[in-house]
Amino acid sequence: MRINSLVEAEEMKKEGIALPSEESHHLARVLRVQVGQEITLFDGQGNVAEAVIQSVGKSAVEVAVSARWKVPSPAVQIDLIQAVPRADRWDLVMQKAVELGVSNIRPILTQHTESKGNEKKSARWQKIVLNAAQQCEVRWMPTLHPVEKIDTILPSLKSYDLVLVGSLYKGAKPFRDISFAENLKKVALLIGPEGDFTSKEVDAFILAGAIPVSFGDRILRTETAAIFGLSVLAYKVL
C-alpha cells in the first residue's frame, strides 16, 4: 500500500521529520505502519520526498528522507466556482475536483443555494480536500476558498482567460462547440445550485465575460454537472 502524507513546506526541507500528531495517529493506529516502511511525503506545492519510517510513537511518527524531487505545476489553472449543494453532494464534488486537477475550489452563495458555509464546515471541507489529495497522489493541493457571495467573485472573473458557466437558459452554447485556445493559462467553471442560477445571475456572469454553456439535452444534478464539466476541461487543457 502506497502511503502519502502531507507535510508543511518548512518541514519538508529537513532530513529527519516528525509527522504532525493527527497524521501520526492515523499512521500508527489505523494503518499500523512499521519501522523501515517507506512513505511518500508532499507539501502540496509540488515538492515530494521518499522517506523511511524510523520510529512509531504514541505522539509522533518520525521518518528519514531518502530522496526528493519537484513536480511541475499544472500548465493550466482550472478553478471550480460552485454554489454550495447539500453536504453529501458537496463532499463528492470536492473529492472529484481534487482528482481532476483543479487549482482552486471557490464555493459561492446564490439565490437558490441550498447550504451555507461556516467555520466548522470549512474545517471539515479542508479535511476532505486533504484526504482526496493523499489518496490520489495530487502533488499540487488545490486551495479551498471561504464561501463567497456572487457580487464578490464577479470582479475576479476578469482575470481568467476563459470562464464557462453551466446554464439551462436559452442561448447557452453546447460544450462541444467551445473553442480552447492553445495559450490558455487560467480557466474557470461556474456551476449553479439544484435550482440553477437565476437569469439575473447568469446575466451578471456574462457581463463579467463568462460564456454560458449547456451540457446536453438532459438536466444534470449539480454534482454531476461539476464532474462532467471539469472532466471535459481537464481533457481539453491539461
What CATH number is associated with residue 106?
Answer: 3.40.1280.10
CA-nearest of 145, 147, 148, 158 to 206 is 158
Residue 32 has pLDDT above 80, yes or no: yes
84/102 same-domain check: yes
What CATH number is associated with residue 34?
Answer: 2.40.240.20
Per-residue pLDDT at 169: 82
126/154 same-domain check: yes
Alpha carbon of residue 230 to chain centroid = 11
Q: How many domains does the chain have?
A: 2
179/88 same-domain check: yes
pLDDT for 38-52, tens place per residue?
999 999 999 999 999
35/97 same-domain check: no
55/133 same-domain check: no
30/114 same-domain check: no
Structural domain span for residue 63: 4-70
Contact status, residue 232 vs residue 216, Cβ threshold 8 Å: no
Per-residue pLDDT at 119: 66
- Amino acid making up residue 97: A
85/64 same-domain check: no
Average pLDDT of the segment spanning 136-165: 96
Q: What is the DSSP letter of 83?
A: E
Element (H, E) at 53: strand 47-56
Classified as helix, coil or strand, 103 is coil
User: How many CB atoms are located within 10 Å of the residue 207 CB?
Assistant: 10
| Residue that is last in its domain, among 52, 70, 88 | 70
Cell numbers for 42:
508532499
CA-nearest of 43, 35, 42 to 63 is 35
CA-nearest of 110, 127, 130, 125 to 191 is 110
Those residues with Cβ within 8 angstroms of residue 53's Cβ, 6 or more apart along the chain or in another chain = 33, 34, 35, 36, 37, 38, 39, 61, 62, 63
Quote the CA–CA distance of 5 and 24 in Å, as a whole number. Answer: 9
| Residue that is last in its domain, among 53, 70, 87 | 70
194/133 same-domain check: yes
> In whole numbers, what is the pLDDT of the chain averaged over residues?
93
Residue 82 has pLDDT above 70, yes or no: yes
Average pLDDT of the segment spanning 104-128: 87
- What's phi and psi for 130, nearest 5 deg? -60, -45
